[in-house]
Amino acid sequence: MPRLAARFGSMVTDMPVLELVNISKTFGTKTVVHSTNFSIQKGEVVSIIGPSGAGKSSLLRMINLLEVPSSGEILIDSQPVAYKLNRASHLTFLSKFKLSKVRSKVGMVFQHFNLWEHKTVLDNIIEGPVNVNKKSKREAIRHAEELLARVGLLEKKNDYPGMLSGGQQQRVAITRALAMEPSVLLFDEPTSSLDPELVGEVLQMMTQLAEEGMTMIVVTHEMRFARQVSDRVLYMEEGRIVAEGTSEEIFESKDNARLARFFSSLHG
Ligand SMILES: Nc1ncnc2c1ncn2[C@@H]1O[C@H](COP(=O)(O)OP(=O)(O)OP(=O)(O)O)[C@@H](O)[C@H]1O
Ligand SMILES: [Mg+2]
């Protein structure tokens, strides 16, 4: 708790890095995210918890521009993401170039790492900085090596992902996201596909990033992590944020029946 208070006091500014305004997502006739508002300040760590099918991944995928909202607006660093209406009156993105520029501000770490299997660790990390951020290869390699050294993975730089443990692969995936120097980093259940003994090293890396002031949105089933590291916790159910507060407010809430039901479902 003291560390959390210290982070909250010193790291979080009142500059929104990201804002969602009345964001909805409908697949066919099913609305999976209902008119949701959300913003995150620079340096803030927000965890999103909730049952399967609540719409947590759908929300993250819209923030990372992997999915176009059915309605609403997204602002990244106060700039609205430029969508246009197509002939069928659906929102679509403006251009591939603009899309990759905006997306580079929002890093994403997936449950299944999503590393390129045929590229080495180093090539996985420099791909985005070179091709999207237009860094020189030399500078991208220098930065990648610095990041890898910081997480103790420099000696793996010429390995292929298949040669690494799941925990190491996920730490490479986080490093790859960091190499783009994103304004905000999204995690979608980053430890869910890891063997239990490998979860700790990934959570430790994420905790360190949080302490260094990285702005993070973390969808997780790791309640201990959510409780200890987050400045704010959102609880989603059926496409809506139905509870929101500091980790104490959420985890020590005595009077919210939905939260109580969710927490008891986790304990089996
Ligand atoms: N591409 C899609 N087409 C149709 N329905 C979808 C699509 N993606 C998600 N859904 C539906 O949207 C709802 C929310 O799914 P989502 O994956 O966002 O939930 P979640 O909270 O991430 O769940 P989990 O904890 O299992 O990952 C689900 O009912 C899902 O079936
Ligand atoms: Mg999900």
Between 96 and 235, name the one with better pLDDT: 235
Closest CA to 161 of 115, 212, 193, 201: 115
Cβ of 56 less than 6 Å from ligand 1: yes
Return the pLDDT at 1: 39
- What are 106-160's pLDDT values in tens digits? 999 999 989 999 999 999 999 999 998 999 999 999 999 999 999 999 999 999 9
Cβ of 32 less than 6 Å from ligand 1: yes
Return the pLDDT at 120: 98
Please name every residue paired with 33 in a beta bridge, in sequence order, or none if there are none: 25
**Which tokens in the block code for residue 78?**
């106060």
Return the pLDDT at 122: 98
Cβ of 89 less than 6 Å from ligand 1: no
Cβ of 36 less than 6 Å from ligand 1: no
- What are 43-99's pLDDT values in tens digits? 999 999 999 999 999 999 999 888 889 889 888 888 888 666 666 666 676 666 677
Cβ of 55 less than 6 Å from ligand 1: yes
69 Cα–ligand 1 center, Å:
14
On the 0-12 / 13-18 / 19+ scale of CB atoms within 10 A, 191 is buried
Between 13 and 15, name the one with better pLDDT: 15
- Average pLDDT over the chain reads 89
Q: Whose CA is nearest to atom 1 of ligand 1?
A: 27
pTM beyond 0.75, yes or no: yes
- What are 186-222's pLDDT values in tens digits? 999 999 999 999 999 999 999 999 999 999 999 999 9
Return the pLDDT at 34: 97
User: What span, in angstroms and rounded, lies between the C-alpha atoms of 104 and 134?
Assistant: 11
Pocket test for ligand 1, best of 47, 56, 110, 242 (most atoms within 8 A of CB): 56
Looking at residue 266, what DSSP letter applies? Answer: H
**Percent of residues, the chain, with pLDDT higher than 90:** 72
What integer is the mean pLDDT of 2-27? 73
Extract long-range pairs of 238-247: CB within 8 Å, 24+ residues apart: 238/34, 238/54, 238/55, 239/25, 239/31, 239/32, 239/33, 239/34, 239/36, 239/54, 239/55, 239/58, 240/34, 240/36, 240/55, 241/36, 241/38, 247/4, 247/47
